[in-house]
Amino acid sequence: MCGLVIQTNGGRIEKIRGDEDDPLSRGHLCPKAIALQDLHHDPDWLAGPLRKRGHDFEEISWDEAIDETADRLHGVQRAFGRSAVAVYQGNPVVHNHGALIFGQLFARTLGSHSNFSATSVDQLPQMVAAFLMYGHQLLMPVPDVDRTQHFLILGANPLASNGSLMSAPGIRKRLMDLRARGGRVVLVDPRRTETAAYADLHLAIKPEADALFLLALIHTIFAEGLARPGRLAGLTEGIDDLARIAKAWSPEVVADAVGLSPDVMRQEAREFANATSSVCYGRVGISTQSFGGLASWLMNALNVVTGNLDRPGGFMFTRPAVDVVALAARAGIKGRFGKYRSRVRGVPDFSGEWPVATLAEEIETAGKGQIKALVTLGGNPVLSTPNGGRMERALRGLDFMVSIDPYLNETSRWANLILPPASPLTRDHYDLVFHLLAVRNTAKFSPAIFEKSTEARHDWEILLGLTEGLVRKRGGDGVAARLARRVMGRLGPRGVVGLLLRFGPYGSGLNPMGGGVSLKRLDREPSGVDLGPLVACLPERLYTENKRIQLTPPVFVEDLPRLLSWMRESARRGASLTLIGRRELRSNNSWMHNAERLMKGRDRCTLLMNPLDAAARTISNGQIVRVRSRAGEVEAPVEITDTMRLGVVSLPHGFGHDRGGVRLSVARKHAGVSFNDLADDQRIDDLCGTAAFSGTEVEILGAF
C-alpha cells in the first residue's frame, strides 16, 4: 500500500524512494520496498516451468506444462472425485489482483471442496467475528488511528508490519502524532516489541489470555456504569446479555491467568471508556491462539459497548473505490460458518475452506474423500503451517502436485511441476483487499515498471491457461461459463479493475459523461486519489438479516466454558516455557528471505529469552539450544533480553531454509529454523479451527 517512486535506467532499477504525494503513505518507505529490486533481479527467480525428473527438475515449455498439469488434475478428479484435488492459496495472492481474480475463476472450474489458504493461520477468527456480528465476512472494522485519543493494541506489532488488517503506512509517525495531540497508546503483548517504544504503557500479558483480559475490561465498564453505546444502542442486540455474561469475569477472577494486576485492568477499562475517542485493535497475537475467536469477538464488543464502533477515532468501516464487500454481497457471498465438518477431525469449515491445520491429515488418511493431488498458489505451507515436518511427509505421498511459484522452495521442491509467474514489477498493481482495510479511503493504480519477457507468463495467464486446459480435458462446459472466461481473458486484470472502479461507490456507472474515480483518472494521477477519512456508515453497511449488530452470537457464548476450564487449569501448569512468534521489519513471512538487502546484518532468527529463564537453565547469550515441542525440535541461538515476559520465549516466523533441494541462494545463507517445526497441528482454536501458534509449550533440552 506504500506509494513508491522507482527510478530505472534501461532494464535496471537505480533508485526506490517513497512517494510524498501518495495520500495514504505520504512518503513512507520501509526496507521491503527497497528490496523489490533484489526480487526483480533475483537469479533464483525461475525463468520457466520445471518438471520433476527423479530427484531433479528439467525445463519444459509452457504449452507442455499447462497441458500436463490440466491432464494430471483431470485424471485425479476422474478417478477419485473432484475434491480429491486440493488447493492451497498463500497470502501473496491477496497482494496480487490478477492472481486473486483469476484464482477464483480457476477454483470454480476445478470444482473441489478441498480448499485451504493462509486465512486459517492468520485472520480467520476476525472474519468469523465479522460474519456473525455484522453479517459479512469481509466487513472488518479498522482503527481510525489518525483521529483516536486512546489506542489499545493487543497482540500486534505495527512498527514491524505497518499495520495488518490496518493498512497504515508510516505508523510510527501516526503514533507520534497521536501522542502529540494528547492521546494515549497502550500495548498488550508478552513481548516488549518495537511498538512499545511508541506506547505510553506496555502490559506484559500471558500468552492466550487476551479474551480474559477483554472480559475483565468489559466487566469493569458495566460494573462501574461506564457503558455508553450511544446511537449504537438502537442498532445492537445483546447489550444486556453481554452485561450478564461479563459479571462472572471480574479482574480479580482472571488476574492470575492473565498475569496482570486487577488494578491495572480496571484502570485501563476506565481510561478506555472515558477518553473522547478510543479504539481497541488486535492482530496475529489474538488470532493465532486457542481462543482467537473469543478474543476477536470481545475486541469488537468492547468497541461497541463504549460507543467507539463506527465513529471518528474509533473502530470504523472503509468505503473503498472497489467495494469488495458490496460486490460479494450482491453475488450472494457474505460468509458461511460450520455448515460442514472435516472428514478426519470434524473441524468446521468457513466459507468453503477447511483449516489448513487439517491438510496433512486429509492427505495421509485413506478412505473416501482422501486428498490425492494439490495445487499451491503463492504459498509455502511447509514453512507457514503448523507441524512442517508432517506437512513435508504428507506432500511426498501425493499422486500429483503443482506449484504456481517463482521459486524452488521448501514446498515446491515436492511438486511434479512448478509454474513460475513473472516478476511483480512486470505487472500492474491495484490493492483490491488492502484498500478495504486502509485507515483512509484512497485509490491508486500502479502500472507495470518493466515489460515481461515473451517467454514469461503472469500469474493470471497461468491460471487462465489451467482453467481452459481443464475445460478441454472435460470436453467443454456451458455457454455462460465459456463466455465469462472469454470476456475475462480479453479484459485481463486491468480491464476487470476498470469495470469494478466504474461501478464502485465513487465511479460514474452508466453515465456516458464519465467522471468520478476511473482507471483513466488513476492513470493521470499515479500517486493516487484521496477519497477522504473514514465515515460513519451504520446501519446501511450492515448485512445481518435484521440490520442490527449481533453482540452475543451463540457460537461465542457457548465457547466460554472452554475458556473457563483453561483459566482454572492455568494455575496448575508446570514450569515449561511457552513459545510465541514475532514479526520482523525486514521479513514478510517466508517469501522475501532471498533478498540480500533484507537478510544482511545480524542474525534475526534467534530464540528470545528472559534473563531469569536463561539463568535458571545456565544458558548464556548466543548459545545454541535444542528446543522441543510435541510436534518436533529445532536448534537455535539464544538472545537474552528483558523484553520477554518471564516463562515466554519467541522465534520469528518463516525461516527454516536449510532443507535439501531448495534453490534459494541468499535464504540458505541465513537459513534459521522454522517456527512451524515446533508448532503443533493438533493445537487449534476449537471454535473456528485456526492454528494455535501462540502458547505452544516447549522445553529446552540442552545448550551447545
Dump the DSSP string for 465-496: HHHHHHHHHHT---HHHHHHHHHHHHHHHHHH
Question: How many whole angstroms separate alpha carbon 403 and alpha carbon 411?
Answer: 8
Closest by alpha carbon to 531, among 499, 504, 509? 504
* Pairwise CA distance, residues 577 & 684, whole Å: 19
Kindly give, in sequence order, each residue whose CB lies less than 8 Å from that of residue 267, ignoring residues fewer than 6 positions away: none
pLDDT at 400: 98
Residue from 226, 221, 229 nearest 246 by CA:
221
Helix, strand, coil percentages (3-state) for the chain, rounded to 5, are 40, 15, 45
- Looking up cell 523484553 gives 643
> 317: exposed, middle or buried (C-beta count within 10 Å: 0-12, 13-18, 19+)?
buried
Asked whether the beta carbons of 52 and 417 are under 8 A apart, the reply is: yes
* Alpha carbon 562 to chain centroid, angstroms: 26
- Residue closest to 435 by CA, chosen among 524, 310, 534, 519: 534
CATH topology of domain 124-320+540-557: Dimethylsulfoxide Reductase; domain 2 (3.40.228)
Q: Cβ distance 687 to 555 under 8 Å?
A: yes
**What string of DSSP letters covers 1-26?**
---EEEEEETTEEEEEEE-TT-TTTT
Q: Which of 348, 392, 347 is nearest to 374 (CA)?
A: 392
pLDDT of residue 371: 98
Give the helix/strand (H/E) hosting 597: helix 596-599
What is the C-alpha to C-alpha distance for residues 70 and 83, in angstroms, rounded to an integer?
A: 15
Query: β-strands 549-550, 236-237: how paired?
Result: parallel
Nearest to 697 by CA among 626, 622, 627: 627
Q: Any residues with CB less than 8 A from the CB of 69 and at least 6 apart, and which?
A: 402, 417, 419, 466, 469
Of 209, 110, 191, the C-alpha closest to 481 is 110
Residue pair 638/606 in contact by the 8 Å Cβ criterion: yes
Domains in the chain: boundaries: 4-34, 50-113+355-429+442-530, 124-320+540-557, 574-703
pLDDT at 453: 93
- DSSP 8-state code for residue 533: S
Q: Average pLDDT by consecutive 10-residue portion of the chain (704 residues)?
A: 93 94 95 91 96 95 98 98 97 93 95 97 97 98 98 96 90 97 98 97 98 98 98 98 98 97 98 98 96 98 98 98 95 94 97 97 97 97 96 97 97 98 95 96 96 95 97 90 90 96 90 82 96 97 96 98 95 82 87 91 95 96 96 97 97 94 95 96 97 95 80
d(CA 302, CA 153): 13
* Of residues 360, 207, 212, 344, the one with CA closest to residue 288: 207
C-alpha cell read off for 467: 482453467
What CATH number is given for 50-113+355-429+442-530 in this structure?
3.40.50.740
CB neighbour burial string for 599-628, b if at least 16 within 10 angstroms, e if fewer: beeeebbbbbbbeebbeebebeeebebebe
Three-class DSSP labels, 534-551: CCCCCCCCCCCCCCCEEC
Neighbours of 536 (CB within 10 A): 14
Cis peptide before 262 (omega within 30 of 0): no
**Closest by Cα among 149, 184, 165, 190 to 296:** 165
Residue 121 CB burial class (10 angstroms; 0-12, 13-18, ≥19):
buried
Of the candidates 87, 28, 42, 137, the one whose C-alpha atom is nearest the C-alpha of residue 377 is 87
- Give Dmax (Cα) for the chain: 76
Pull the grid cell for residue 291: 481462543
Q: How many residues does the chain have?
A: 704
Residue 274 has a CB neighbour count (10 Å cut-off) of: 12
DSSP letter string, 313-367:
TSEE----SS-HHHHHHHTT-S--EEEEE-TTT-PEEETTB--GGGHHHHHHS-S
d(CA 218, CA 299): 10
Query: Is domain 574-703 classified as CATH 2.40.40.20?
Result: yes
Cα separation of 554 and 574, whole Å? 33
* Fold: same for 124-320+540-557 and 574-703: no
